Homo-oligomer: A and B are copies of this chain.
Amino acid sequence: MQVEIITIGDEILIGQIVDSNSAWMAQQLNLCGFGVKQISSVSDNELHILKALDEAASRASVVLITGGLGPTKDDITKKTLCKYFGSNLVFNEDVYNDVEKLFKDRGYEVTALNRGQAEVPAHCVVVRNQVGTAPGMWFENKGVVFVSMPGVPYEMMHMMETFIIPKLKTHFSAPIILHHTLLTQGIGESRLAEEISEWEEALPTFIKLAYLPSVSAVRLRLSGFGNDSTRLQNEFDKQLDSLKALVDKYCYGENLDTLELVVGKMLKASGKTLATAESCTGGQVAATITKVPGCSAYFKGAVVSYANDVKKDFLGVLQEDLIAYGAVSRQVVEAMARGIVKEMKVDYAIATSGIAGPDGGSIDKPVGLVWIAVADKDNVYAKQFLLGKNRERIIQAATLTGLNLLRRFMLNELAIE
C-alpha cells in the first residue's frame, strides 16, 4: 500500500522552515510496511492544493496532508478540502469543547477566530486534537483515504501515534518490509561498492542495497520486501550476514549507532577512561564525545593545544621535536597522546595534529594532512591521513577517524595492519 504526503504552507517554500514532519511520518509509515510514494510541499493556494490532491490520489491509496489548519486567513486547507469533496463546514460541539478546555487550561479566553476552528467538513470523521486547537480530519473518497492534520510537529505526531497509524493498520493489510543499516568509516563509497560488487549483483530482486555517504563515513542500508514473513526474514538475515562479513573491517556499528556512542559503550563496559589532545580538530573530538549523555563516566577532559607553547607546557611535547619534525608529525602527535594519558591519568587517549587550511599547507605537508594517534599507558599507534581540502570537512573527518582508530585500538585491530 502506497502513501503520499502533502505539506501545505508558504513557510516551507520560502525556506523559512525545514520540513522535518515528512521525514518523521515516512519513518513511522515504513516501520509499519507502508511505502511512501512521493512527498510534495505546496503553497497556501486553492488551485495548487486541489491539483496536488488529484495527483497524489492517482498514485496512492492514502494521502496524508499537514498544515494550513491555523485560525488565520492564510490557512485555507479546510475550505479547500470542502471544495474537493463537495462538502460544507458544520459546527462541531465536541471540537469546540476541546478548544475551550485547552484555552482554559492555559488561562486564555476563546476568541471568535478559535471558534472557527470547531467548524469541520460535514463528510469527515473528526480526529480530536488532544494537544492543540486544530482537529484532524479523515475522509474516504473513491477508495482513497485522505487525512488532514495540523502542521505543528508535536500535534501531528500525537495524532499519528494515537489514531491515524492504528486506523491505517486495520484499514489496509501491510506488506512486510525489513531494513537494517551497517555503518562504515574510513572507506569511500566507490571503493566500498567495488569490494562488495559480486555480492550486490547476486542479491535477489526483493532485497535492495542503498549507499548513504556523509563526510568520512558511508551507511549501507539493506531493505527487504515481501509477503512471506519467514522466507523474507531468512533470506534477509542470510544476506545481511554476508554483507557484515564483507565490510567487517570498516563497520563500526548498526542502525542508529554513532561512533561516539559505540566508543562510549566500550569504555563504560570496561571501566576505562579517555581524554583527548587536539591541535587541528580544535576541541571537536571532545565535543563529539560529550554529545553522549552520561559520558562523564569515562571522559575526563581534553587539552586543545593550538599553540606550540601549550603542546610543550600541558602535554610535555619536546621543543627539539617541534623544531626537528614540525607540529604536524608522527613524533609530535605520539608525544601529545602519551602526554595526555600521563597528565590526565586516563587509560586511553586520542591526539590530532594536522593542517586544516585553507592556509598553512606546503608541498611536503599539504592542507588536509592530519596525523592521528591513539594511545594507552604502554602503547601508541599513529597514522597519517589525507582528508580533502575543506577546513570543516577535514575537522569532521579527522574527528571520526580518530574515534574509529580508538575503537580499533581497543579491539586490538591496529597491530595487524
Contacts and interface: CB of A to CB of B under 8 A. Distances in A.
Interface of A: 10-20, 22-30, 35-43, 48, 52, 55, 70-74, 105-108, 111-114, 131, 133, 152, 154, 179, 181, 188-191, 193-194, 200, 208-213, 221, 223, 276, 278, 281-287, 289-291, 293-296, 299-307, 309-310, 313-314, 343-345, 356-359, 366, 368, 386-393, 395
B23 A12 contact: yes
14 contacts: A38-B40, A70-B213, A71-B189, A105-B386, A278-B283, A282-B290, A284-B290, A286-B286, A290-B356, A290-B395, A296-B306, A301-B305, A304-B304, A313-B343
Contacts of A368: 105-106
A355 B28 CA distance: 32
A200 B73 contact: yes
Contact of A16 (B42, B221, B304, B343): B221
Given A13-B39, A15-B30, 11 more contacts: A13-B38, A14-B223, A15-B26, A38-B48, A55-B55, A106-B388, A131-B390, A152-B213, A282-B295, A291-B395, A313-B344
A98 to B, nearest CB: 13
Contacts of A359: 293-294
Contacts of A296: 306-307
A55 B210 CA distance: 27
Contacts of A24: 15
A286 B52 CA distance: 45
Given A106-B388, A213-B70, A300 B290 contact: no
B14 A36 contact: yes
A27 B16 contact: yes
Nearest to A19: B19
